[in-house]
Chains A and B, each alone.
Chain A
Amino acid sequence: MTFRKYLVLVGVAVFSSAGDSLLARGMKDVGGVSLHHLSSLILAILNPWVACGILLLLAFFASYMAALSWADLTYVLPATSLGYVLVALAARFGFHEAISPTRWLGIALITAGVGFVAAGPSHTTSPQHLNRPEPVSRETSS
């Protein structure tokens, strides 16, 4: 694992939580969507919060794809949950909002889970069963 790879994982965490937050904010403006008015789901994209949220989620998707190309799914996924911790800490120390004991417990559980996975190897599968078309590099990546 290089510094750049850790940076990609940080991108996964930051972009997913920021994107989700903006999307949730935008959907509050859009209001209820029913099966009879599915067009409002498409028009929701015109809301600036939803649009910015989708842009950030695209950045999340790019970094998520990059991470999945060199690490296991079960290694990358916990990183996405770090976003919840970042949002909570930003609210606590940036905006001086109170964090309930339940949320502190959530932060502790996520951090412990991510720490557990990060302490182990990032890649455990062998490339044989994937029928990769041609090798990327002669060097073995960590």
Chain B
Amino acid sequence: MKDAYTWAAIAFIILASTTGDVLLAHAMKRVGDVGELWKQRGLLKVVNRIFATPTFFLGLLAMAVAFYSLLFALSWGDLSLVVPASASLTFVANAFSARLFLHERVGRRRLLAALLVAGGVALMAI
């Protein structure tokens, strides 16, 4: 039964962190290149524009949920399963979500890279 709870926690962490990543990436693409914006209009304009983007706060909320659920799961779950599974599967989930929601061109090269990184992260975190 504890296994079922652990996998439910892992699935929840992956869902929350992928949602957060996609929303934040969307928000920052709307804001535009912050380096250029800072150079041309100053830091205040950068902060103003980020805070005027609603998806930024939704992304932040999803990230906070992911962060606290990981902290929560780490305190009772099987450490050698929660960390590698949630960290590595998030890369794969993000690759598909970026293609679907952000219209990034995730071709064979980036998909293969996501799988390689996911495999590597799983091995490192075990």
Contact = CB atoms under 8 A, between A and B. Distances in A.
Contacts, number: 163
B120 A84 contact: yes
B103 A107 contact: no
- Per DSSP, chain B at the interface is helix
Contact of A109 (B50, B102, B109, B120): B120
Interface string A96-120: 0000001101111111111011011
A27 B74 contact: yes
B60 to A, nearest CB: 9
Contacts of B49: 133
Interface of B: 21-22, 24-26, 28-37, 40, 49-50, 68, 71-72, 74-76, 91, 94-95, 98-99, 102-106, 109-110, 112-117, 119-126
Interface of A: 4-5, 23-24, 27, 30-34, 41, 44, 64-66, 68-70, 72-78, 81, 84-85, 88, 102-103, 105-114, 116-117, 119-120, 124-127, 129-133, 135-137, 141
